[in-house]
Amino acid sequence: MRPDLFFPLQQAAAESGSAFGVIGDWAVAVMNFLGAFGVGLLVLAENLFPPIPSEVILPLAGFSAASADGTFTWVEALIWATIGSVAGAYCLYGLGAWLGHDRTVRLLSYLPLVDRDEIDATIKWFNKYGYWTVFFGRMIPIFRSLISLPAGVERMSWWRFGIFTLLGSGIWNTIFVYGGYLLGNNWHVLEEAAGWFQYVVIAIVLILIALYVFYKLRKQARQRRASADGDEAR
């Protein structure tokens, strides 16, 4: 492993008042050892293990490409990052295909407050808008990886899935890799912005879950009252 790249990057981070953190240090070490190919492996791992944040890896890849001692260009980093994105997406697609439609529906039906007709309606919607869901989902934190599972479950056309994944991931990766390249020592600005975006997404998801639970509980309460009124009438 070449310390001549890793330590200048660490020094630059210290001078800018930022820090890579444990994951960042590990990512820099991998990129230092494997070059642009390491970027692809890191992004592949990020797809399979979402706690590894692409919002750190991608700007760091651009930052590494911009450094005087960089061993790869930002274009090489972008290409390998996108290859890693597509490869990781196909791994999860394969997992979804292995689970299959019937098994997935059966598992979902065991969840509390979830009705079979709602599952069927969601699947119908996904089959209608699935390709665009995959495209835009690649640019939304949390859903970036998970969107591959329903695509596999419903056996979405594998080559169309790959095209929409390539396009969506390419846009996301370009923003962060080239952004990190342009920002240099201020690469962490992208990470912070993505962090706030992720908080917004999480808040929206929690609100939607709360509204759904409220709706289902009210529906069940109405059904119980209707049943009780029917019993009294008899």
CA torsion, ordered 191, 193, 195, 200, to nearest 10 deg: -160
Residue 51 clears pLDDT 70, i.e. is over it: no
Here the tokens at position 66 are 């911009």
Q: What is the pLDDT of residues 70-115, one digit of tens each?
A: 689 999 999 999 999 999 999 999 999 999 999 988 888 887 777 8
The amino acid at residue 109 is S
The amino acid at residue 70 is G
CA distance 104 to 201: 25
Q: With bands split at pLDDT 50, 70 and 90, how would you rate the model's confidence at 4? A: very low
Q: Are 68 and 83 in contact (CB under 8 A)?
A: no
pLDDT the model gives residue 69: 65
For every residue of 154-168, DSSP letters joined together read TT--HHHHHHHHHHH
C-alpha dist (Å) from residue 116 to 43, 91, 110, 121:
36, 28, 10, 9
Global pTM reads 0.81
pLDDT the model gives residue 18: 44
Q: With bands split at pLDDT 50, 70 and 90, how would you rate the model's confidence at 177? A: very high
The amino acid at residue 162 is G
Between residues 12 and 136, the one the model is more confident about: 136
Q: What is the pLDDT of residues 187-203, one digit of tens each?
A: 778 878 877 877 888 88
pLDDT the model gives residue 230: 62
Average pLDDT of the chain to the nearest whole number:
83
